[in-house]
């Protein structure tokens, strides 16, 4: 917010984040502002979606220092120096991440509102467990809601991604 | 409203010099993939490459008015006029080519957007050159259409055009539109439904810089420069309201019965009294609760209202109707307003999107600046119009293993509301009667629809409208009669069906699921069973049959739907994988509605306002869905999606009965309800249950 804001609790502070590999400095007038609003409204990264705003749906999932977090539950004031990966930072430049390739191959989406959060979570899952079972995938993603009912397709896609990645590694 | 009057071809499509085809459609893609399917249809009718086709949806003044995008009807009613326009366009192009090349039309062939002379492919002209200056003719409703044998795109699983951007998070939904100098707004809702605003204490948010309050009567909103500050200001603002409130939730079904003021007999074969006189009737009552749309992305809209005109970006299912309402509200001529469809989150009916657009426009008008307004999830679950509660009592009489008498009395409010206004009661209760009639060959059938003018909670259209409840009641009751007759539920259905397409889906699903008469089995301590259900959507739509496999933990009462097999016939299939995606999604959502979903409210407002208090199915609980499609290229394409929704709840209830002998007659099938029905937890009070309805539990 602009510098002429006069109220006592809106003293300007800055927070430095590394977002998708880029150093970003954010002016903070309210340290309680959740990361999801910083990403969407301040940094223009609107791939991350807001739904429940209270940690129950996974639509806003991002990686903070490599760990899946709910961007609606993280206050910007606590994040100085953190590394954040959003959906825009998944994949390598123009190349899709294997998770994205597999989701496309299975046509595993409808409206896609849940999709950025699922892609972020799935990429983290495969990074730590390259060959998760269907049950592991489903339990790992239990915090991600999809109202359009694409669960089955997403699980199939992630199995496909696991197999494809393994194929490449051997 | 669904078709369209004759219109110039140019209103439906244009072809650029480079061959790019722009198609203007009044139907919109609600996340269902319809954009891709319509492109396939146009590509085949015009005979152009699929990637040459670009679909422009729902934009007032630009796309044709094709009414609202509802009821999984876009292919059934939205595609035919488009197809006729494309066929007319191709005919015009062929005529022009014949003239330019100096040969008869009958000697010309088309391929990939090029007209050439048969046998002399070098003599050719591209569509782009032929289409210059537009078409300048009306759509010919009688134009011959290309035969299914020529299709290259229709009938194939071409990937959806929207998903490459969606997997990268690069697809801009309406939620992602940002205008320069835009305000973020949200409503301040009353503590009780219908309360009047008495006082607003603006000083309570004086500490928030750059925040505006908009108040018009009981309409109260705050706006700030970013969404977070808006939410905080709305939370902090001190307001005083008076009055308002809701009826007691435990009386919902009694009130529905008591308030019904119109009665319509939608089917009466006569001879019913005679049928019931000779045989003891079996009777049962079924209940369906208020349910929420539960869109993952709550309604959102962006409005830029100026003194001489306005633009509103929103995910409306009917941009022209919304424009008419906005014109009234903003006192602007209709043609000064542009309503632009931008895809939102899956809406599954009237989830409040138009309301959000109207609110954004009012606030933008008051502020004289562009406004973005996104409901919170609590607002959506608390304040969007609900799929209404319904109640049915069925009576049936058997003789010699056949149903000779069947009566269905249903109580329902209208399932529709447009911008706050409920239509006057009419015979069909605006789809409250959908699928109340069964398509079985039954001695005598009578259907009576009792229509209440309104519901306890503001109601509107939720996926499949009255059909979800009506088929739950009919197909559960059909199983009850099969049980009384000592018949296999599949056989019993086939014995009452003449329509070969109906029989085909039942036979196909039985094959897919390897049906063996529905006998129970066990898995460790769990009692398992399978249930079947069939319906033809709305009496003239797609045919669907489902078999669910369920496991019941009789100690906890938990019901697990493990697998759903579905056979589906919607005539011509445009995109098999897209269709499967819709069927699977509907099956999973319908499982969620059947097992978990009921909107609760206290005497003031809805209390099911987050995902803990309005739980929906999550990843680990999703059943495996297996699908068998019956393609009938010679038949018209019927709507798909919703037809699957309606067979799921009864197939689950029938499976639970097969597994345990407990008949569930009220949705949702929660563990508590199962245990109560089984009679073990005599102290559990489920407000809306009456013992008289449990004619035959166990
Ligand atoms: S929006 Fe963050 S978890 Fe739902
Ligand atoms: S695809 Fe619509 S919420 Fe998941």
- Give residue B199's domain range: 176-243+299-374
Q: Confirm or reject: Cβ of A49 under 6 Å from ligand 1.
A: no
Residue B625: list chain A partners with CB under 8 A: 152
- When scoring B296, B575, B582 by the number of chain A Cβ atoms within 10 A, the one with the most, hence best to mutate, is B296
- When scoring A29, A50, A148 by the number of chain B Cβ atoms within 10 A, the one with the most, hence best to mutate, is A148
| Candidate from A49, A116, A150 with C-beta closest to B585 | A150
pLDDT at position B426: 62
Q: Is A119 on the interface with B (CB under 8 A)?
A: yes
Q: Is the dihedral of CA B91, B93, B96, B101 positive or negative?
A: negative
Q: Residue A11 class from Cβ within 10 Å (0-12 exposed, 13-18 middle, 19+ buried)?
A: exposed
Phi, psi for residue B635 in degrees, rounded to 5: -100, 150
CA distance B483 to B480: 5
pLDDT 10s digits, B12-42: 999 999 999 999 988 787 777 888 999 999 9
CA angle (A66, A72, A77) in 5-degree steps: 75
pLDDT at position B32: 78
Asked if B296 lies within 8 A of A107 by C-beta distance, the reply is no
What are the structural domain ranges in chain A?
A: 3-88, 98-165
Alpha-carbon distances, residue B479 vs B261, B651, B655 (angstroms): 31, 10, 10
pLDDT at position B518: 81
CATH for B336: 3.30.365.10
Q: Could you tell me which of B91, B113, B111, B95 has the C-alpha nearest to residue B103?
A: B95
Residue B30: list chain A partners with CB under 8 A: 111
Domain formed by A3-88, architecture = Roll (3.10)
Q: Based on the domain organization, do B60 and B194 belong to the same domain?
A: no
Does residue B395 form part of some domain? yes
CB B364 within 8 A of CB B49: no
Distance B367 CA to ligand 2 centre (A): 34
Residue given tokens 């009688």 in the structure block: B142
Q: What is the DSSP letter of B8?
A: B
Q: Is A163 on the interface with B (CB under 8 A)?
A: no
β-strand partners of B626: B565
CA distance B381 to B590: 18
Q: Based on the domain organization, do B517 and B485 belong to the same domain?
A: yes
Does residue B638 form part of some domain? yes
Q: Based on the domain organization, do B143 and B32 belong to the same domain?
A: yes
CA distance B71 to B6: 24
| Alpha carbon of B611: minimum distance to chain A alpha carbons (Å) | 6
CB B318 within 8 A of CB B412: no
User: Which numbered ligand comes closest to the C-alpha of A59?
Assistant: 1
Q: Based on the domain organization, do B521 and B640 belong to the same domain?
A: yes
Q: Confirm or reject: Cβ of A138 under 6 Å from ligand 1.
A: no
pLDDT 10s digits, A115-169: 999 999 999 999 999 999 999 999 999 999 999 999 999 999 999 999 988 766 5
CA distance B406 to B645: 24
Does residue B523 form part of some domain? yes
CA distance B140 to B145: 11
Complex ipTM, two decimals?
0.93
Q: Confirm or reject: Cβ of A58 under 6 Å from ligand 1.
A: yes
Q: Edge to edge, what strands does the sheet with B526-536 contain?
A: B521-523, B526-536, B543-553, B558-569, B624-630
Six-digit token string for B439: 């398509």
> Which fold, A98-165?
DNA polymerase; domain 1 (1.10.150)
Nearest-atom index, ligand 1, CA of A49: 1
Q: Based on the domain organization, do B441 and B472 belong to the same domain?
A: yes
User: Which numbered ligand comes closest to the C-alpha of A111?
Assistant: 2
Q: Based on the domain organization, do B517 and B607 belong to the same domain?
A: yes
Q: Based on the domain organization, do B334 and B401 belong to the same domain?
A: no
CA distance B290 to B600: 8
Q: Based on the domain organization, do B534 and B554 belong to the same domain?
A: yes
Residue B298: list chain A partners with CB under 8 A: 51
Give me the mean pLDDT over the A65-78 stretch. 97
Residues of chain B predicted below pLDDT 50: 1-4, 681-698
Q: Could you tell me which of B370, B331, B29 has the C-alpha nearest to residue B223?
A: B370
Nearest-atom index, ligand 2, CA of A118: 4
Name the closest residue on chain A to residue B171, using Cα atoms: A47
Does residue B276 form part of some domain? no
pLDDT at position B684: 39
| Candidate from A52, A96, A137 with C-beta closest to B611 | A52
Residue nearest to atom 4 of ligand 2 (CA): A146
pLDDT at position B328: 94
Does residue B290 form part of some domain? no
Asked if B611 lies within 8 A of A142 by C-beta distance, the reply is no
Phi, psi for residue A64 in degrees, rounded to 5: -115, 120
Does residue B252 form part of some domain? no
| pTM tops 0.90, yes or no | yes
Q: Is A104 on the interface with B (CB under 8 A)?
A: yes
Residue given tokens 């911008």 in the structure block: B419
Q: Could you tell me which of B24, B583, B29 has the C-alpha nearest to residue B345?
A: B29
Q: Based on the domain organization, do B158 and B181 belong to the same domain?
A: no
Does residue B54 form part of some domain? yes
Q: Based on the domain organization, do B437 and B526 belong to the same domain?
A: yes
Q: Based on the domain organization, do B152 and B184 belong to the same domain?
A: no
Number of compact structural domains in chain B: 3
Name the closest residue on chain A to residue B206, using Cα atoms: A7
Q: Based on the domain organization, do B412 and B474 belong to the same domain?
A: yes
CA distance B5 to A164: 52
């Amino acid at each position: 917010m602009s510098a002429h804001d006069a109220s006592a609790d809106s003293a300007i502070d800055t927070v430095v984040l590394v977002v998708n590999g880029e150093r970003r400095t954010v002016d903070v007038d309210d340290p309680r502002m959740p990361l999801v609003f910083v990403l969407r409204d301040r940094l223009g990264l609107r791939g991350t979606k807001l739904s429940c705003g209270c940690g129950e749906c996974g639509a806003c999932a991002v990686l903070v220092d490599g760990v899946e977090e709910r961007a609606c539950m993280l206050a910007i004031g606590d994040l100085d120096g953190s590394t954040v990966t959003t959906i825009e930072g998944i994949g390598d430049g123009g190349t899709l991440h294997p998770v994205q390739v597999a989701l496309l191959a299975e046509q595993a989406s409808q409206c896609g509102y849940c999709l950025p959060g699922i892609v972020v979570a799935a990429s983290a899952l495969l990074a730590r467990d390259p060959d998760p079972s269907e049950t592991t995938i489903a339990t790992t993603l239990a915090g991600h809601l999809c109202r359009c009912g694409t669960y089955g397709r997403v699980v199939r896609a992630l199995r496909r991604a696991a197999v494809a990645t393994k194929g490449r590694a051997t | 409203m669904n078709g369209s009057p004759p219109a110039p071809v140019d209103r439906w499509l244009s072809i650029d010099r480079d061959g790019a085809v722009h198609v203007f459609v009044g139907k919109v893609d609600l996340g269902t993939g319809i954009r891709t399917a319509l492109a396939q249809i146009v590509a085949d009718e015009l005979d152009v490459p699929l990637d040459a086709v670009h679909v422009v949806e729902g934009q007032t003044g630009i796309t044709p008015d094709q009414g609202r995008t509802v009821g999984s009807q876009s292919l059934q009613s939205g595609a035919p006029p488009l197809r006729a326009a494309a066929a007319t366009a191709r005919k015009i192009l062929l005529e022009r080519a014949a003239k330019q090349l100096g040969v008869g039309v009958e000697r010309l062939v088309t391929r990939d957007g090029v007209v050439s002379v048969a046998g002399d492919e070098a003599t050719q002209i591209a569509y782009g050159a032929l289409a210059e200056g537009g078409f300048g003719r009306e759509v010919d409703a009688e134009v011959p259409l290309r035969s299914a044998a020529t299709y290259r795109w229709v009938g194939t699983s071409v990937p959806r055009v929207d998903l490459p951007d969606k997997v990268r998070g690069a697809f801009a939904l309406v939620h992602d539109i940002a205008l320069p100098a835009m305000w973020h707004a949200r409503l301040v809702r009353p503590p009780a439904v219908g309360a009047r605003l008495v006082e607003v204490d603006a000083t309570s948010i004086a500490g928030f810089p750059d925040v505006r309050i908009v108040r018009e009567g009981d309409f109260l909103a705050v706006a700030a420069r970013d969404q977070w500050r808006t939410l905080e200001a709305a939370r902090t603002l001190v307001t005083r309201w008076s009055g308002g409130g809701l009826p007691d939730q435990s009386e919902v079904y009694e009130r529905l019965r008591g308030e019904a003021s119109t009665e319509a007999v939608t089917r009466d074969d006569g001879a019913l009294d005679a049928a019931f006189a000779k045989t003891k009737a079996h009777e049962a009552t079924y209940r369906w609760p208020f349910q929420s749309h539960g869109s993952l992305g709550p309604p959102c809209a962006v409005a830029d209202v100026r003194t001489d005109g306005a633009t509103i970006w929103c995910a409306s299912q009917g941009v022209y109707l919304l424009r008419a309402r906005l014109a009234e509200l903003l006192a602007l001529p209709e043609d000064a307003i542009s309503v632009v469809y931008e895809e939102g989150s899956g809406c599954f009916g009237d989830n409040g999107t138009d309301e959000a657009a109207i609110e954004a426009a009012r606030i933008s008008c008051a502020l004289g600046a562009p406004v973005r307004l996104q409901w919170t999830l609590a607002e959506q679950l608390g304040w969007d119009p609900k799929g209404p509660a319904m109640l049915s009592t069925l009576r049936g009489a058997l003789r010699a293993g056949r149903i000779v008498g069947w009566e269905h009395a249903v109580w329902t409010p209208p399932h529709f509301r447009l911008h706050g206004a409920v239509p006057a009661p009419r015979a069909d209760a605006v789809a409250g009667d959908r699928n109340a009639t069964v398509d079985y060959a039954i001695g005598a059938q009578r259907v009576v629809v009792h229509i209440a003018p309104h519901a306890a909670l503001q109601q509107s259209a939720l996926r499949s409208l009255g059909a979800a409840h009506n088929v739950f009641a009919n197909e559960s009751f059909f199983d009850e009669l099969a049980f009384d007759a000592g018949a296999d539920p599949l056989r019993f259905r086939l014995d009452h069906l003449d329509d070969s397409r109906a029989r085909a889906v039942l036979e196909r699903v039985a094959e897919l699921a390897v049906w063996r008469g529905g006998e129970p089995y066990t898995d460790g301590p769990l009692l398992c069973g399978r249930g079947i259900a069939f319906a033809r959507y709305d009496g003239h739509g797609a045919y669907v049959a489902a078999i669910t496999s369920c496991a019941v933990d009789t100690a906890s009462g938990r019901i697990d739907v493990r697998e759903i097999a579905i056979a589906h016939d919607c005539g011509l299939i445009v995109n098999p994988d897209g269709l499967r995606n819709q069927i699977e999604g509907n099956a999973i959502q319908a499982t969620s509605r059947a097992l978990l979903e009921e909107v609760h409210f206290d005497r003031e407002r809805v209390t099911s306002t987050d995902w803990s208090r309005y739980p929906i199915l999550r990843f680990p609980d999703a059943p495996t869905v297996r699908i068998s499609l019956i393609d009938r290229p010679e038949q018209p394409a019927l709507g798909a999606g919703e037809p699957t929704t309606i067979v799921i709840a009864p197939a689950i209830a029938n499976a639970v009965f097969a597994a345990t002998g407990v008949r569930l007659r009220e949705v949702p099938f929660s563990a508590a309800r199962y245990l109560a029905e089984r009679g073990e937890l005599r102290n559990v009070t489920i407000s809306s249950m009456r013992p008289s309805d449990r004619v035959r539990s166990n």
